[in-house]
Structure 1
Amino acid sequence: MSVLGVRVRLGAGGTVDDVRALKAWLEREEPLAELLSKQKLRIEAQTSTDGTKGRLGPDLELVLKLLGDVVTVAALTEYTARAVKAWANNRRRLQGGDPQPQIRPLDTDGE
């Protein structure tokens, strides 16, 4: 069975704390919060399998998996991109730097 969703990876400026903060932000952001409350979406932090060469420590990313056909991947990508942009702007204002988030659809096997 194919897994539909999106992957959010932070660039070299991102930290483990950033991943946690972004996950919390996404969990509160409408309409993602609504999908979570209806158990139609799962957000997982995981170690990236194709990490950046030469970077110390694990590459962490967030994976948002759809658990039903309630929205399309395109809609989920749009919701996620809006939320990530708001989070990144907020982080930049409070802490400086740019975590350079990247968002892309999951491959059909969920990877």
Structure 2
Amino acid sequence: MRLAEDAHDSDVGALKKWLERESGLEELARRGELQIHERAAADERGTPMGAGMEIVLLLTGWAANRLFDAVLDQTVRAVTAWRANRRSVESGEPPEAEVAPGDDER
């Protein structure tokens, strides 16, 4: 998932923490079936794009394929909720977010 280029580092960190506390995602992470990481954003060729950051959710283990759609749906809902919360506690519009499978999905 990527936040718009105008996102601050604090937005990336806050969204990552939000996802880590999301009940379904938190349970998968506790069981070792999901990892949530920040990394430098890359362009279509995989080349790092300056200071931009993205959040990567990695499903691991035998159930990864079965859980993929549910985790993707839950992540979209969590990002929507985070943006609404961010809008209510900080001034200005929160950054746009793109939630999409990466090159190595499923």
* TM-score category (smaller protein): 0.7 to 0.9
Question: Greater relative contact order (Cα 8 A, min sep 6): structure 1 or 2?
Answer: 1
- 1:54 corresponds to which residue? none
Unaligned stretches of 5+ residues in structure 1: 1-7, 52-56
- Matched residues in 2 for 1:46 and 1:102: separation? 15
Residues matched between the structures, number: 99
- C-alpha separation in 1, matches of 2:29 and 2:12: 18
Partner residue of 2:47?
none
**TM-score normalised per structure 1:** 0.80
| Percentage of matched positions with identical amino acids | 39
CA distance in 2, matches of 1:20, 1:108: 23
Q: TM (normalized to structure 2)?
A: 0.84
More helix, by proportion: 2
Other-structure match for 1:77 = 72
1:101 match: 97
Aligned to 2:81, which of 81, 86, 96?
A: 86
The one-character-per-residue Cα deviations of 1:24-67 (angstroms, maximum 9, x if unpaired) are: 1100001000001001000000001119xxxxx51101000001
- Secondary structure class of the residue paired with 1:59: strand
- Deviating 4+ runs (over 4 angstroms): none
Q: What is the Cα-based RMSD across aligned positions, in Å?
A: 2.1
The aligned runs of 1:15-94 (5 Å cut-off) are 15-50=8-43, 58-68=51-61, 69-70=63-64, 71-94=66-89
Q: 1:72 Cα shift?
A: 2.8
Q: What's the CA shift for 1:20?
A: 0.5
Q: For 1:92 and 1:12, how far apart are their aligned partners in 2?
A: 18
Unpaired runs of at least 5, structure 2 = 45-49
